[in-house]
Structure 1
Amino acid sequence: MKHWFRLHRLALASTLRLFLANPLASLLNLLVVGIAVALPLGLYTVVANLQQLAGRLPTEPQASVFLTPSANAADLARVQALVKADSHVLAVRHISRDTALKELEQSSGMSELLAGLGSNPLPDTLSLTLREGDTAGLEALATRLKADAAVDQVQLDSDWARRLASIIQVGREASNTVAALFGAGLLLVTVNLIRMQILTRRDEIEVSKLIGATDPFIRRPFLYFALLQGLLGGLVGLAVVALSLDRLNGPIAQLAKLYGEHFALKLPEPVALAVALAIVLLLSLLGAALSVRRHLRALDT
C-alpha cells in the first residue's frame, strides 16, 4: 500500500512539473477548458432560472373581459350571466372600475397623476379562470363575448405563459445540444493535448520502457495531468459564469422592479454544479486514457 501511494505521489509531482514547465501554455489550455464549460453551463443556468420564474406563474388558463366605458349595471349583469353559464368557466371575479384604479395607483406610484385625470378611464373587468383542454370551446366563448355590445375586448392572459413554457423547452433542448457539442470538443482537446505531451516526452518514455517501466507507470502522470486540467478548467468555467451572472443581475433587477417583481439570476444548486464538474473530469480522464493507450501501442510496435 505504501508503494502504491508513493507511485501516485510521484505521478502527481510529475504532473505539477508538466504544468509549471510551460505556465503560459497551461494557462491558455485552462482558458479553453473554462470556456468549453462556461458556455453550456451558462445556458443551462439561464434556462433553469427562466423555468423557476415560469413556475411562479399561474398554470390554469385565464382570461380578462374588458367592458366598454359606457357599460351600465344591466350590461355587467348580462355579461356575468353569459360567462357563468358557460361550462368552460370555473370562476368569475368582478373587478370594478374604482377597484382597478386603486390597484393601478398602488402598483404604479402615480396617484397624483391619475388623480388629475378627473374621471376614471378604466372599465369594469371580469377575470375568468378557465378549464384546461378544449381550445376550440375557449375560442367560441371569446367569440360570443366579443359579439356583445358591452364587451370591448377579451384577452387570454395565459397565452404568453404558454409561449414562455415553449421557449423554455426550446432553451432546455438547446442547452443539452450545446453541452453535448462542447463535451465532445473538450474530449478532443484533451486527446490532442495529451498527444502533444506524449510526443514531447517520447524519448523519456522510450528510455523508461527500456529500463522496465510498466504501462500504468507511464500512463499515470498523463491521467493526473488531464484530471488536474479538467478540475482547474471547470473551476475557471464556474468563475466565468458566476461573474457573468453578477454583471447581469444589476440590469435584471432594475427591469424586474419596473414590473413590481424581484428576480435575480442564480447559479444552479451545488449538486448540479458538482455533477457538471464530475462530467468535465470524466471527459478529461477519458480523453487522456484514449490518447495514452493509442500512443503507447504505437511505441510498442
Structure 2
Amino acid sequence: MDQKNYEGSSNASGAVALDGNYFVVADDEENRLSVFEKGSEQTLKPAIALSRVFDGEIEDGKGCEIDLEGAAAIGNVYFWIGSHSTNKDGERRPSRHRLFALQIQRNAAGEFSGQRYGRIYRTLIDDLILDRRFKPYRLDKAVGIAPKASGGLSIEGLAATPEQSLLIGFRNPLAGGTEKNGRLQDAKALIVPLLNPLNLLQGQTATFGDPIELDLGGYGIRDIAWRQGDEYLIVAGPYHANEDRSEKHRLYLWHSNKPTHKPKRLDADLGELNIEAAFFFPGQTDWVELLSDDGDTKGFQCVSVRL
C-alpha cells in the first residue's frame, strides 16, 4: 500500500482519471473540480469552477453546494452526481439533485478547463419514484429524511460500464434488514443502472435497469469503480455517521454478470481512513486509488492498494 498526501482540495468526495498521469477530484463542499498530477502534492491551477461551466445553472454560496459524491467517465465525457440528500437536519436541498457531465481539455500552457456536455438532469429521484420496480425502497419517504438516518437518502457511488451506462450506488437507503439498538442490521446495498446517460443529457427520458441489491455485510456504497470486463471494485461503509469510527470501510470485488452473487470481500486493512472515492488509472487494474476525506483543511490522502 502506497500513501501520498495531496494539497488543495480538503473534502475529496469523487474522482476519476483523465489519463495515466492526471486525475480530477470533486469537493463535496464546493462546486469546483481540481486536477492533480499523479505523485505531485498540489492541485493544478486554475480549478474548474462549475458555476462558470454551467453559467446561471450552478451557483456558488451557502446552501448551493451540489454535494458532489461520485464520478465516472464514458470516453471523454466525465459524469458527476450530487448526493440527492437533504442537509443533516433533514431540510431539502434541490441543488444536490443533479447529474451532469463535462468534457475536460488541456491547453498549451498545461491548464485544464471544462466544457458542459448537454443538460443537467435534476429529476432522478422523481423518475425512480414513478417506476414501480423501485417502490420497495420508499424513495418518496427517503427524500425527506436526513442522509445518515435509517431510511434516509444519500447517493455516493457512480461507475461507468463498458456498455456506456452508469451504475448509481446508494449509501442510503438500504434494502431489507432489521432494526437493532436504533441501527439497521443485515440490509443490502442498492445499485440503480441508468442505461442511457449520454442520450439522457441530450434530452431523452431516463431509462433504468432493474434494481440490484448487494450483500455488503450491512454496509452501503461509498463508491464504485469499473476495473475490467464485468468486474467492479466497491468501497463499502456504514450508512450512518459512524462518529466513533468503530466500523471500518471495506473493499469488495463484484461481477455485474452475476448480480445476485455476494461480492468478494478483499483483505485490505484501511485503518482509520474515511474512503470517499476510488478509481483506476488506465491500464493499471492491479492498483486502485482510494481517496480519504479526513477533515484536513490542507488536503486529502490518496492510498494506492494492490488488488
TM-score normalised per structure 2: 0.19
* Greater share of strand: 2
* Greater share of helix: 1
Higher RCO, 1 vs 2 (CA within 8 Å, ≥6 residues apart)? 1
User: Between Structure 1 and Structure 2, whose CA radius of gyration is higher?
Assistant: 1
